[in-house]
């Protein structure tokens, strides 16, 4: 075998012509419209055909292509989560994608799952996944023969679309469905029966280094995984590593040796891409809050960072509750943002910028505390995502999060993880291969717990106001 190497093909390559926010425009797929998607099944084959004996690894992640040695990794989508409900002649009856904004829980009993299911399935019913019964529990349910993720469907198609019993997935993706339990390593078919009224065909769950076979062009296929799982693999995360991602949404996750089931529903107990687990907290409001604040102040991101750094820690008592699009964690779908503690002295652009940075970090600190409450050990904190590029965020993160922070050089960590997994498939080794990690900067500061305490006080006021407004039957800031 040739010495492994990595070749990156960017979004402007001949295979991937523009960024893709979904699972791709697959023209052969009945019922799916091309909402600016342009990854096609034939594109995957073209990547495979362009390299001698490649292996294709399908991962739901930013649209990049990487080849590790003779391994071709094709990454799909951008953090999109969802299921495809399949009917007769392998048609798609419904795309059960995860909405980008917070939404109230479904009202129909068939789409609800009792709280005790969290103990069994690991991922709480309120984690954002949509069940096949949510939109209309009766529509098309009687026609559904199989349920799979977009990643699973494309792997199956790339392998030649044999019988539906050859569908495959991986532990990471399966753990996000709500009907596969990381605790038991098996499907909760009773939940699907409850939602659909019958059992259906589900993908075989592969191990992280297993292959589902080969493509029609002879490429060895990898199991693939979800975007957060691939990022953890690409960053070399091990038990004790906590990853804080400040992207459009915020994610706090950690590699864990044991499965976690949080009855509160705050921590989703996902599986990772190494055979371990990835407890995770997701928030809706992260880098988009910084974007909105920059627009509000009429400045660019560099100026926003400079403004924030020019203001004192704690923003002179100004507290920014960043629920600009509702919130998923905590589950406050109708919440709105708020500024608390305004005075003449802190009513400046610099103080608002500082409060925005601290508000986003305080929300992520709550996620970190939720992981620790579930027994997650924090050995190191890795800060990634677009928001992590802002100097004010990097400088403030250790003080707010309460731990020293490492910030790797900007990169496509999900694609790195996809390439590493694909190389693992070819190696046949028990553990993933050693992988060169990005250069890292380290930040430290004395913890400023009083900022977190002041944020908690303001947050309680938002909840109290929401309860009061809700009692009057008016949509406001609260559940």
| Residues in contact with 208: Cβ distance below 8 Å, sequence separation at least 6, in sequence order | 170, 171, 223, 225, 273, 274, 275, 421, 424, 432
Q: What is the pLDDT of residue 219?
A: 87
Q: What is the pLDDT of residue 437?
A: 85
Whether 217 and 240 share a structural domain: no
| Number of domains making up the chain | 2
Whether 247 and 202 share a structural domain: no
Asked, for residue 420, whether it belongs to a domain, the answer is: no
> What's the mean pLDDT in 460-477?
61
Whether 221 and 252 share a structural domain: no
Whether 89 and 153 share a structural domain: yes
Asked, for residue 435, whether it belongs to a domain, the answer is: no
Among the listed residues 95, 152, 227, 272, the single catalytic one is 227
> What's the mean pLDDT in 304-330?
96
Residue that finishes a domain, picked among 190, 225, 260: 225
Whether 55 and 100 share a structural domain: yes
CB contact at 8 A, 155 and 220? no
When the pLDDT of each residue in the chain is averaged and rounded to a whole number, the result is 78
CB contact at 8 A, 424 and 433? yes
pLDDT tens-digit readout, 378-400:
999 999 999 999 999 999 999 99
Residue that finishes a domain, picked among 225, 257, 291: 225
CB contact at 8 A, 251 and 128? no
The answer, yes or no, to whether residue 13 has pLDDT greater than 70, is: no
Q: What is the pLDDT of residue 330?
A: 86
Higher-scoring residue by pLDDT: 27, 360: 360
Asked, for residue 63, whether it belongs to a domain, the answer is: yes
The answer, yes or no, to whether residue 460 has pLDDT greater than 70, is: yes
Pick the closest to residue 124 from 354, 282, 245, 3 (CA basis): 282
Whether 220 and 89 share a structural domain: yes
Whether 145 and 208 share a structural domain: yes
Residue that finishes a domain, picked among 181, 202, 225: 225
- Domain span at residue 219 reads 6-225
Q: Which two tokens stand for residue 246?
A: 């400040």
Whether 376 and 300 share a structural domain: yes
State the pLDDT confidence band at 420, using cuts at 50, 70 and 90: very high
What percentage of residues in the chain have a pLDDT greater than 70? 68
Asked, for residue 1, whether it belongs to a domain, the answer is: no
Asked, for residue 335, whether it belongs to a domain, the answer is: yes
Asked, for residue 179, whether it belongs to a domain, the answer is: yes
| Residues in contact with 159: Cβ distance below 8 Å, sequence separation at least 6, in sequence order | 166, 212, 213, 214, 215, 216, 221
Q: Which two tokens stand for residue 333?
A: 């779908």
Whether 79 and 112 share a structural domain: yes
In the annotation, is 227 catalytic?
A: yes
Whether 144 and 12 share a structural domain: yes
> What's the mean pLDDT in 15-32?
30
What percentage of residues in the chain have a pLDDT greater than 90? 56
Q: Which two tokens stand for residue 476?
A: 């406001």
CA 396/CA 444 separation, integer angstroms: 9
> What's 475's domain CATH number?
3.30.420.40
> What's the mean pLDDT in 9-21?
31
What's the sign of the alpha-carbon dihedral 188, 191, 197, 200? negative
> What's the mean pLDDT in 5-9?
41
> What's the mean pLDDT in 185-210?
93
> What's 140's domain CATH number?
3.30.420
Whether 309 and 273 share a structural domain: yes
Strand partners, 168: 204
| Residues in contact with 460: Cβ distance below 8 Å, sequence separation at least 6, in sequence order | none
State the pLDDT confidence band at 333, using cuts at 50, 70 and 90: confident
Whether 190 and 296 share a structural domain: no
Asked, for residue 311, whether it belongs to a domain, the answer is: yes
The answer, yes or no, to whether residue 38 has pLDDT greater than 70, is: no
CA 10/CA 47 separation, integer angstroms: 13
The answer, yes or no, to whether residue 369 has pLDDT greater than 60, is: yes
Q: What is the pLDDT of residue 163?
A: 87
Asked, for residue 423, whether it belongs to a domain, the answer is: no
């Amino acid at each position: 075998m040739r010495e492994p190497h990595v070749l990156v093909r960017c979004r402007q390559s001949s295979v991937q012509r523009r960024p893709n926010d979904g699972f791709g425009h697959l023209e052969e797929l009945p019922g799916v419209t091309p909402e600016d998607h342009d990854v096609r099944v034939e594109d995957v084959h073209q990547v495979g055909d362009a390299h001698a004996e490649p292996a294709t690894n399908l991962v739901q992640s930013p649209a990049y292509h990487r080849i590790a040695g003779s391994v071709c990794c094709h990454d799909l989508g951008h953090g999109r989560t969802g299921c495809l409900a399949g009917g007769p002649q392998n048609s798609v009856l419904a795309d059960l994608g995860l909405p980008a904004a917070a939404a109230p829980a479904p009202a129909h009993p068939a789409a609800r799952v009792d709280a005790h299911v969290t103990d069994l399935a690991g991922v709480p019913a309120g984690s954002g996944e949509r069940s096949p019964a949510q939109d209309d529990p009766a529509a098309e349910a009687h026609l559904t023969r199989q349920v799979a993720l977009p990643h699973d469907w494309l792997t199956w198609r790339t392998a030649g679309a044999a019988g539906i019993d050859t569908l495959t997935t991986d532990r990471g993706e399966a753990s996000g469905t709500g009907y596969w339990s990381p605790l038991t390593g098996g499907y909760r078919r009773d939940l699907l029966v409850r939602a659909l009224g019958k059992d259906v065909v589900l993908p075989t769950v592969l191990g992280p280094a297993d292959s589902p076979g080969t493509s029609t062009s002879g490429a060895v296929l990898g199991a693939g995984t979800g975007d957060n799982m691939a990022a953890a693999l690409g960053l070399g995360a091990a038990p004790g590593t906590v990853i804080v991602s400040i992207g459009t949404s915020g994610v706090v996750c950690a590699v864990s040796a044991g499965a976690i089931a949080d009855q509160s529903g705050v921590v989703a107990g996902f599986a990772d891409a190494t055979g371990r687990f990835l407890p995770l907290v997701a928030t809706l409001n992260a880098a988009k809050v910084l974007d909105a604040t920059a627009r509000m102040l009429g400045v660019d991101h560099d100026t926003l960072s400079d403004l924030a750094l020019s203001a004192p820690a704690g923003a002179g008592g100004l507290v920014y509750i960043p629920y600009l699009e509702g919130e998923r964690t905590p589950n406050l779908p109708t919440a709105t943002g708020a500024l608390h503690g305004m005075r003449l002295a802190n009513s400046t652009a610099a103080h608002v910028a500082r409060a925005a940075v601290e508000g986003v970090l305080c929300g992520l600190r709550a996620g970190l505390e939720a992981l620790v409450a579930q027994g997650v050990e924090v050995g190191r904190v890795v800060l990634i995502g677009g928001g992590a590029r802002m100097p004010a965020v990097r400088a403030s993160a250790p003080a707010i999060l309460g731990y020293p922070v490492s910030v790797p050089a900007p990169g496509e960590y999900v694609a790195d993880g996809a390439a590493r997994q694909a190389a693992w498939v070819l190696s046949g080794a028990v553990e993933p291969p050693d992988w060169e990690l990005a250069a890292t900067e380290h930040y430290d500061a004395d913890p400023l717990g009083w900022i977190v305490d002041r944020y908690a006080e303001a947050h309680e006021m938002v909840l109290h106001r929401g309860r009061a407004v809700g009692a009057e039957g008016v949509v406001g800031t609260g559940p």
